[in-house]
Chains A and B, each alone.
Chain A
Amino acid sequence: MAPEDNREQVATERAVGMSLATGPSERSQGQWSGVWKQLKRNRLAMAGLYVVFFLLTLAVAADFVANDKPYYMVYHGRSYFPLFRSTLVKLGLAKWPAEILNADFKTLDAERILFPPVSYEPSDIDLTAPFESPSSKHWLGTDKLGRDVMAGLIHGSRISLSVGFVAVGIALTIGVVLGALAGFFGSWVDLIISRIFEVMLTMPTFFLLITIAALLPPSIFLTMAIIGLTGWVGIARFTRNEFLKIRNLDFVTAAIALGVSSRKVMFRHILPNALAPVMVSVVLGIAGAILIESSLSFLGIGVPADTVTWGSILNEARSNTFAWWLALFPGAAIFITVLSYYLVGEGLRDALDPRLRGSK
């Protein structure tokens, strides 16, 4: 234990007042604060976490980072905020003024104009500039329809991340419920649910995905649902194992002895203590879901053809091998995102492992 930790220990005991002074209570009980402290020491995991936060921010703010409408412009002596107005128009709260309705802001003769860092939308087709290599105009080049790759990547991060989160959200719900039931009730409930796990594990998930995606019309929600409905087994098994372990701890027995109902025992006593290790598989699951979504769009079956995703940009590189930027940048985006989630997941796993406490 580091000396500063010892000092903290002493300070705590003093603060508690009546120091009955037994051995120091070193067995930290997996409090989130302790986990966070441990995670902070892991540089790789923290780097991953920063990247994840950066990507989340980018995904949320995509419309304001890559957009073909300017933030602000002065046109014929009047000020406009077209980007913000476009948001209101989409929500049905405002209308475009007649003078700039359907205007192409890039060619507009405005006195003053301020564009977002990337002044394109992913769907802006410019047939005069197909397959442009990276330049100051198109930072990461364009595809065969002249669509800006940078804008595509930024907006594509929304799809990747939302597929990751929603799919894992579905998997988490199913997994936690089934895992909790199996682990808490044991006996025949466990027997039946465990057999379901095994059946799910024997299914070739990816081929199932391809089959379903090929049979039904492509839709992002379908992709999310399929990934979620097939990807819950890992989470369920983690939850079940944790429940089996925690169910036999004294504080659960104490709750039963106090007359607490089964439902409350499950949700108040066992679940909060079981979730920490489950979080690891959630984080890793997000990475997996992003990979699957990219693979599906690469094959052109995950999302509608006109939606720009990381996988669909990558797909274009397949038939146009000279356009290296179409392969490199989306590939790097997928790689960095998945790697970051893995680093966070691994870091979380180490931080939760009491055997690694205080090391490093």
Chain B
Amino acid sequence: MNAEFKIQNSAIVEVRGLKKYFPVLSGVIAQRVVGWVKAVDDVGFAIRRGETLGLVGESGCGKTTTGRCLLQLDRPTEGSVLFEGQELTAMSDEELRPLRRQMQIVFQDPYSSLNPRMTIGQIIAEPIRVHALARNGAKCRDRVAELLHVVGLNPLMADRYPHELSGGQRQRVGIARSLALEPKFIVCDEPVSALDVSIQAQIINLLEELQEKFSLTYLFIAHDLSVVRHISDRIAVMYLGKVIEIADRRELYENPLHPYTKALLSAVPVPDPLVEAGRERIVLGGEVPSALNPPVGCVFHPRCPIAIDECRKAVPELREIKPNHWAACIRA
């Protein structure tokens, strides 16, 4: 944990020792906790102002929960989340409300992220009304039209219902909604993984454009490594509730230090048959262990090709192995 002291000053979001455990209950009337799913277990990182931090990992490794914990949509079990120096975990829902203007989220599933009973106009106008950002109805409508234009939609769409739109169009509406509050920081929770590849590119380009235009900071959560590589400045890799490696994009892709990252990168197909044929592929054995009962020591050791006895004993700290390149592996 306690990683990345150097960038603290420029950090917009700082996470320290973040834990989110979900109780596993048993019994009907008198429910007992029979175990904890450690969705996020002792995660620490910082996001610099204006950058895009990519967060990658397999399904179920805690990426989404981490994103939701940052915005206090899931309250962390332990740890601290600092947004521009303010501790969010200690705030009540009421205290958080004004801060919500500055941090937003874009969801993965464009079908469930829009209320089917509201028009596009009402959906985008809601944050404006809640935070009283428009003086009157006409101003509000103008703002909605402007936002639709910004995300590349026809302002006439304000009168339509979500089910009349395609997935890509809906995702644009979701982006427009989060932009309505002029946030500084947006958690993009797999914003393109539910879309066709051609639409993915459009949405990614839109997100990049908007970042430049409104100087946004992104936490970009994804499982698609090529998408993350395209959009991120730095990348954090998660495995079973822990961040196991953080580095600049180029550094991470060229010199991965953690054996899991290496395996992950070797699974990405290369669009060159010669390189592809000559490439060595690391195939991991076994399955991801259950977050209900994670392995002792390094969580990756049961599947790690280079694990030694030490790995079973202590949880490896995330340490700076090269300048700005952090990994949680004693063998790196």
A12-B164, A16-B154, A29-B116 known, 17 other contacts, Cβ within 8 Å: A17-B156, A17-B157, A22-B195, A25-B165, A25-B166, A250-B107, A250-B109, A251-B112, A251-B113, A253-B105, A254-B107, A254-B174, A257-B73, A259-B100, A260-B127, A268-B118, A272-B117
A sample of 10 cross-chain residue pairs with beta-carbon separation below 8 angstroms, ordered by A number, consists of A19-B166, A20-B168, A29-B161, A249-B113, A253-B105, A255-B126, A256-B73, A258-B127, A259-B96, A273-B115
A357 interface residue (CB < 8 Å to B): no
Main secondary structure of the interface of A (DSSP, over half): loop
A250-B166 in contact (CB<8A):
no
A259-B130 in contact (CB<8A):
yes
CA distance A133 to B271 in the complex (A): 91
A16-B157 in contact (CB<8A):
yes
B residues with CB within 8 A of A: 68, 71, 73, 93, 96-98, 100-101, 104-105, 107-109, 111-118, 126-127, 130-131, 152-154, 156-157, 160-170, 174, 177-178, 181, 195-196, 199, 202
Give the residue name and chain of the A residue nearest to B156 (CB): A17
Give the residue name and chain of the A residue nearest to B189 (CB): A250
B202-A20 in contact (CB<8A):
yes
The 3 residue pairs across chains A and B that have the minimum distance between CB atoms:
A29-B116, A250-B113, A259-B100
B199-A273 in contact (CB<8A):
no
A residues with CB within 8 A of B: 12-13, 16-25, 27-31, 249-251, 253-262, 264, 268-269, 272-273
Q: Which residues of chain A have C-beta atoms less than 8 A from B73's C-beta?
A: 253, 256-257
B167-A29 in contact (CB<8A):
no
CA distance A157 to B9 in the complex (A): 76
Q: Which residues of chain B have C-beta atoms less than 8 A from A29's C-beta?
A: 111, 116-117, 161-163
CA distance A255 to B169 in the complex (A): 19
B163-A31 in contact (CB<8A):
yes
CA distance A250 to B174 in the complex (A): 11
B140 smallest CB distance to A (angstroms): 14
A22-B199 in contact (CB<8A):
yes
CA distance A30 to B116 in the complex (A): 8
B100-A249 in contact (CB<8A):
no
Give the residue name and chain of the B residue nearest to A195 (CB): B29
CA distance A252 to B126 in the complex (A): 12
B163-A25 in contact (CB<8A):
yes
Q: Which residues of chain A have C-beta atoms less than 8 A from B161's C-beta?
A: 29, 31
A16-B169 in contact (CB<8A):
yes
B127-A23 in contact (CB<8A):
no
CA distance A257 to B152 in the complex (A): 23
Q: Which residues of chain A have C-beta atoms less than 8 A from B160's C-beta?
A: 16
CA distance A19 to B97 in the complex (A): 36
CA distance A13 to B34 in the complex (A): 51
B112-A249 in contact (CB<8A):
yes
Give the residue name and chain of the B residue nearest to A26 (CB): B163
CA distance A312 to B18 in the complex (A): 70
A269-B169 in contact (CB<8A):
no
Q: Which residues of chain B have C-beta atoms less than 8 A from A28's C-beta?
A: 163
Give the residue name and chain of the A residue nearest to B103 (CB): A257
Give the residue name and chain of the A residue nearest to B109 (CB): A250
A310 smallest CB distance to B (angstroms): 38
A259-B101 in contact (CB<8A):
yes
B100-A258 in contact (CB<8A):
yes
* A251 in contact with B199 given A16-B169, A17-B156, A31-B163 (CB within 8 Å): no
A260-B164 in contact (CB<8A):
no
Contact of B181 among A18, A19, A258, A272 (CB under 8 A): A258
B114-A251 in contact (CB<8A):
yes
B167-A25 in contact (CB<8A):
yes
Q: Which residues of chain A have C-beta atoms less than 8 A from B109's C-beta?
A: 250
* A258 in contact with B130 given A16-B169, A19-B166 (CB within 8 Å): yes
A93 smallest CB distance to B (angstroms): 43
CA distance A260 to B157 in the complex (A): 23
